[in-house]
Amino acid sequence: MGVKKLVKQVLTEKENQKYERLLKRRRVTYNDWLAGQEKSGKQEASERIREEAFPQADGEMRCASPEGDFVLIQAAKGSMASGAKEIIERYFAENPEVQVVYGDEDVRRKEGVYDFPWFKPDWSPDFLDSCLYFGSLTAVRRRRWEEQKSLYDRAYPGSWQTIFSDEEDGSCAVTDFAAYERWLHGCVDCGYAKGRGVVGHISRILFHGESAEEQRRFLEESDFLRNKRRSLMTDFNESCLSGRPAPVVSAVIPSRDHPDILRQCLEGVKKAAADIPLEAIVVDNGSEEENRVAVKRMLQEMTEGHTDGTGIGIRYVYSPMEFHFSRMCNLGAKQAEGKLLLFLNDDVFLEKDCIRECAARAVRSYTGAVGIKLLYPNLGRIQHAGITNLPMGPVHKLQFLQDDRDYYGKANNCGRNYLAVTAACLMVEKTKFMEAGGFCEELPVAFNDVDLCFGLYELGYHNVCLNNIRAFHHESLSRGDDEAPDRLRRLLAERRKLYERHPKLEGRDPYYSVFLNREGLDVRIAPAYLTAGNRVQSAAGPRPVKDLADCREDKCLLVRVEDTGGGRIIGWSVVLGDNNACYDKQLLFQRLSGERAEEHGTEQGPFREQSGACADDGQYGIVLEGQYRPDLEENMPDQKNVALGGFLLEVPDGVLPPGTYRIGIYARNRVTGLKLINWSNREFEASG
């Protein structure tokens, strides 16, 4: 082996060791995280109870909650977490309207060793109709407990004693799981209504189970739930379909210049509707004359057999305009005669009977919008399984992941409530749609479906995504770095408008635990403790960068900026085909002139005057510390040492001269001396 090669090997090994040491510091074990949570939880609970028991004002002693005010029900082997009873007592005292409470849980593998944390959503009636997600520990107010005991005794004489063990110190264990599930649904039946408040969720580990197998049992669909779903479908058939020649469902389909795709969509709608009275309203915002003629001819053919049941009732609304999804959908909704509206992209192809499944849920009094799982055709990958609202905005969790396994909490394979679903396939009762104000026409392209769903949620409805039902969506897989800057600016402006309209929901999602991954665009659903070792890096003191002439601008240096909101910059960077442990990286800010982002093309070179950069004083760099991103490890198994490729910086006001900057990465290999540079498609606005 040559001397140079040997030296390079030795230096590379040292860099690998440094990388592993830093990675170890960034990673946090669940046991360490849990110890901190339990300690703080017990302390917070005891301090609050002490304050309520011994108020400073008059010194009069009072209790936070009456003794024996609730019953604890244990449905699996294990034990309560430290301080759990006090936390539950405090929660009941602070939320007098709540009748039933559940919490999060994990598994104790052996003394002092815990695993399989299960962080649950807030009250999710459709999730409870899919599985008994309340899990191992549930608390019920004593008054509600006695009421349900009496009702159950009357409905099933003599069977109450078989459900629970004898109550002892306000606690009992489940002895008949099937009967318990039936009883619990009766106990929370008042929660199946418009509005929230009867069922509470404590977002904290309250129970340590004995096995992962018992935990998984709670995620299984039982005979009781299958029968409940069949009853739902029967009730829908009897109440909504009997004697109804008029349309029950009106499918509103925006379309332009896609006659062949539109035909496939309409044929799919017809099959999916089966015997449900349905009409289709095609809203065309300006097809070319040739395509317009083809569409009219095709629609005429499809409607010819409508009167004898072989066709489908279709109306064609031709209204030339720039693409404006909200206006097109509102236009179709105004002409709809059905009780239910189905908004459908023309490139979504439905499977048989899915319309009935959606409709049976959409007519319930507490349901807002109904969506379904959408897959990319021929790939088996998920495009949509519900929209999650994170600090960076609404995102499609699980997008691009293979739909060949169960993800966290069976999120991709059962009905669950979400804050929003995509209008690529969305059903809602027309009266609720009008109550929410329809699609916001201030949002012509993006987030109009999220805005509608936010409005429905704020009115007290629960939106649901039926991920046990699927359709295929021919949306392009190309996303992210190839988006034009003008498109990104429009997207960000519409996101700002969304939260101006719904300020209380910015960064908040009741159906997604705060203890799941929330930073950046990690589409997995994973516990947040995995990245708890990361710290927000301050971007105070950026240094001017003047001489980068010997850098090679190369797309092998991937740069993805995921968000620049709230003075934070979140993203990741990876050097493809090389050992990332060997690289120093800087986040670069390049100030733009009036020509701005349209001229970011890499063929111009990063620092030429025509790019709009101020080469002398408009470039600044911040040395990156490296943030742990387990999703990079998982998504790039063929790349080396990419787990610390993330960055999360806070940029205080005034640290950069005022202006608009584009963001890039400078990377230098400490072993070979290779210098690389590349730019993202994102901009950052610096204020003085």
> Rounded to 5 degrees, what are φ and ψ at 4?
-60, -40
pLDDT reported for residue 202 = 97
End-to-end CA distance of the chain: 56
DSSP annotation of 222 reads P
Collapsed DSSP state (helix, strand, coil) of residue 409: helix
Residue 598 has which token pair? 């349209």
User: Long-range contacts made by residues 401-409, C-beta under 8 angstroms, separation at least 24?
Assistant: 401/523, 401/524, 403/373, 403/375, 403/470, 404/380, 406/219, 407/524, 407/525, 408/516, 408/524, 408/525, 408/526, 409/118, 409/120, 409/133, 409/219, 409/525
Instruction: Let me know: does 668 contact 575? Beta carbons within 8 Å.
Output: no
pLDDT reported for residue 555 = 94
Instruction: Let me know: does 566 contact 554? Beta carbons within 8 Å.
Output: no
- In angstroms, the Cα distances linking 134 to 73, 185, 227, 444, 640 are 11, 11, 20, 40, 41
User: Residue 77 burial (CB < 10 Å; 0-12/13-18/19+)?
Assistant: exposed
Collapsed DSSP state (helix, strand, coil) of residue 185: helix
Under 8 Å CB-to-CB from 600, ≥6 apart: which residues? 485, 611, 662, 679, 681
- Provide mean pLDDT across the span 407-428: 96
**Which amino acid belongs to residue 293?**
V
Place of tokens 């559940």: 102
**Segment 88-130, tens digit of pLDDT:** 999 999 999 999 999 999 999 988 899 999 999 999 999 999 9
**Segment 542-572, tens digit of pLDDT:** 888 876 778 999 999 999 999 998 889 999 9
pLDDT reported for residue 483 = 61
pTM for the full predicted model = 0.90
Percentage with pLDDT > 70 across the chain: 89
**Segment 477-536, tens digit of pLDDT:** 434 434 667 788 888 899 999 999 999 999 999 999 999 999 888 999 999 999 999 989
